[in-house]
Amino acid sequence: MPKIVIREKHVINLGGWVVENRANLPYKDYVIGNPFNEPVKIEAPIYSMEDIEAIKKLGLIVEPVLPYENLVEKINKVKRLIGL
């Protein structure tokens, strides 16, 4: 399975990596933040809630993007949570 490397103290948007036609997720988009001082690999694409839980278990910050939320504001929130 492919992997995504999230650089240290970096934030990414998983919107393009969620396979909506197969994934049964409560949200269609997630913002992931790496609070560590080293890169972390995650599996991609995202097919299920188990994939999201696996990302959380790595210690990464996982924030769902609700339909009414602004993506840029959510990314900025995660940046604040990781200390940027």
**CA–CA distance, 84 with 79 (Å, rounded to integer):** 5
Residue 21 has pLDDT above 70, yes or no: no
Type of residue numbered 10: H
Quote the pTM value: 0.89
End-to-end CA distance of the chain: 31
Classify burial at 17, counting beta carbons within 10 Å of its beta carbon; exposed 0-12, middle 13-18, buried 19 or more.
buried
- The pLDDT confidence band at residue 26, using thresholds 50, 70 and 90, is confident
Type of residue numbered 44: A
